[in-house]
A = this chain, B = another copy of it.
């Protein structure tokens, strides 16, 4: 493929390897595998999942649910607090697919009850410690009241408890991630015990890629919804969740300027391509927006090159004199993204090395 401008490149082999590994892990632990499609947001990539027999997915908006429903997906959970302004769209979707929504307040139940003409599954969104959003796992009365509201709704059926332990992203070690994972599980299991009545069985659904990748103990958990694992990125690499070799997307950016005297190379590739999410590199704690790999095999060069600055369309690389000599104006450098979900969202589509295009919800 002839590259001319910043291009998001996908490695189908690595991507499918990541997918197979996570699917196999879910199978071994007897878990429902409901991968989150907000990372790739691509019908074309989604078909690889379908090809492996996966038939349940997670998305983060009603619009994304529509996009994948149009491609034949029939069992979709919107794992985002219900936006009551889209209740009509939820109703339309529920007419066509088996749909689950995420609820954490009575307003959502009330609005759905006024609008729904088709059955919709519900997960209660539980906060097990991430403190972003959700019903606190300690607020048993709130959870119980909402459960009652759902149980009394004609078209709502409570499916289970859902959480995203996003605080694993701030963990300092593998051990800390596993501790959070266990704590999350224990808190959900305890809450479930207090909510279930009689023969009722509520599912426990967890989601974050760090836990799903590293944990080997899922007793009590019924469903996993990781998303980022499909591509991974430098954030996951820094958390020791993946290796560089597991990262399956990069942004190829042309070199437009070299500044030997200050060891800097400028690429056409900025905040509108990579996103402004950062990782922290080395003992000097440099904030990086990406890291360069060799074209061949996507391996790190002998001397690391960090994207240390980013404006709208410029990326600034700090390079050693040795690397400066090996990179020319017009060359393309491959930049591994810090946060692949945001980079994919910005780039709005992927190309593989043969030039085949893979669409994205956003374009």
Contacts and interface: CB of A to CB of B under 8 A. Distances in A.
Interface string A1-41: 00111000000000000000000000000000000001000
A312 B329 contact: no
Given A107-B329, A266-B81, A5 B86 contact: yes
A54 interface: no
Contacts of A362: 348
Interface stretch (A153-161, A239-247, A256-264, A351-359): A256-264
Contact of A81 (B3, B166, B257, B277): B257
Contact of A329 (B84, B166, B346): B84
A132 interface: yes
B342 A257 contact: no
Given A277-B271, A329-B107, A82 B256 contact: yes
A85 B3 contact: yes
Copies in the complex: 2
A180 interface: no
B4 A262 contact: no
Nearest to A105: B329
A348 to B, nearest CB: 7
B277 A133 contact: no
A111 interface: yes
Contact of A312 (B38, B84, B107, B108): B38
A271 B132 CA distance: 14
Interface string A81-96: 1111110010000000
Interface string A252-295: 00101111011010101001100111000000000000000000
Nearest to A265: B133
A85 B5 contact: yes
A207 to B, nearest CB: 12
Contact of A131 (B258, B262, B277): B262
A85 B4 contact: yes
A117 interface: no
B80 A328 contact: no
A259 B257 CA distance: 49
Contacts of A84: 254, 256, 329-330
Contacts of A3: 85
Nearest to A346: B346
Nearest to A84: B330
| Residue from A104, A133, A256, A311 with most neighbouring chain B CB atoms (10 Å) | A256
B4 A86 contact: yes
A256 B81 contact: yes
Interface string A131-169: 111101000000000000000000000000000001000
A314 B5 contact: no
30 contacts: A4-B86, A5-B62, A5-B83, A60-B312, A60-B313, A61-B268, A61-B313, A80-B268, A80-B313, A80-B314, A82-B256, A83-B268, A85-B332, A105-B258, A105-B329, A107-B329, A107-B330, A108-B329, A131-B262, A132-B314, A133-B314, A136-B261, A166-B311, A271-B275, A272-B342, A275-B275, A275-B276, A276-B277, A312-B342, A363-B363
Interface of A: 3-5, 38, 60-63, 80-86, 89, 104-105, 107-108, 111, 131-134, 136, 166, 254, 256-259, 261-262, 264, 266, 268, 271-272, 275-277, 309, 311-314, 316, 328-330, 332, 341-342, 345-346, 348, 362-363
